[in-house]
Amino acid sequence: MRRFKITLSYDGTNYHGWQVQPELSTVQGTLESVIAQIEGATVHVEGSGRTDAGVHGLAQVAAFDLENPIPVENLRKAVNRLLPRDIRVLAVEEAAADFHPRFAARAKTYEYRILRSELCSPFERLYVYHHPYPLDEKKMIEFAPLAEGEHDFSAFAASDDTDELGRSKVRTIFSSRLAREQDRLIYRVRGTGFLKHMVRNIVGVLLEAGKGNFTRADLEARLKPGCGIPPGPSAPARGLFMIGVEYE
């Protein structure tokens, strides 16, 4: 049995997220279906994380096992030939038998794109959150680094099917920055891992601060353990991209 690590890119518009769901089109499900055709048997694909419906991936990482002796480069070509055009495998390599794309990850980076111009091109509408209305961008840029460090992000996490397991919602964020780049506000965040809707909820809170509805104290209160503040508001999925995953 051979272990493969792949890096892939996808447009999440037409998918109900990464994770397999019954009778719904997902990125994981599409990959498993295609790779099973090559293997001639069921194949389970493990991802480095679960992106939500409508979220895009620039460099998602996944892994799976095959008995097929197909060469690495031929495998990449064969998978891409069978995949729909909104998913592309960028790279394939053989990995150690115990490699797991999520457990072995040391850091992940996401980017959220807010278009500030008056008009949004129809060719961009699925890949940015168009917000042409007044915002205190200086305040948003100032508040973004408050998420850095180790915090309990319960107030930024949507309910998840694993909540009943009582898993910790403490995460470490290495970098949380917002910057104006031409006609866009770009939020980039890098950390050990992320909870469901966490990045979109951070952006949503920053937007509320930009509208004058939240203060610095409001954001800081959401980072305190046991604050009991419900998560939200959440920015739309279409502006979010998984940028990359880092390994040792």
Exposure of 160 in the CB half-sphere (CA atoms within 13 A): 21
pTM (predicted TM-score) = 0.94
64 contacts 43 by C-beta, under 8 angstroms: yes
Where along the chain do its domains lie? Answer: 2-95, 107-246
Given this model, what pLDDT does residue 163 score?
64
Given this model, what pLDDT does residue 165 score?
67
Residue type, 202: I
The catalytic residues are: 52
- CATH match for 2-95 among 3.30.70.580, 3.40.50.1370, 3.40.50.150, 3.40.50.620: 3.30.70.580
18 contacts 26 by C-beta, under 8 angstroms: yes
pLDDT in tens, 162-208: 666 668 899 999 999 999 999 999 999 999 999 999 999 999 999 99
Give the phi and the psi of residue 242 in degrees, each rounded to 5. Answer: -80, 120
Q: Cis bond leading into 233, ω under 30°?
A: yes
User: What CATH code would you report for 107-246?
Assistant: 3.30.70.660
What percent of the chain clears pLDDT 90, i.e. is strictly above it? 93
Given this model, what pLDDT does residue 98 score?
96
pLDDT in tens, 84-135: 999 999 999 999 999 999 999 999 999 999 999 999 999 999 999 999 999 9
Fold match between 2-95 and 107-246? yes
Instruction: Give CA–CA dist 200/206, Å, rounded.
Output: 10
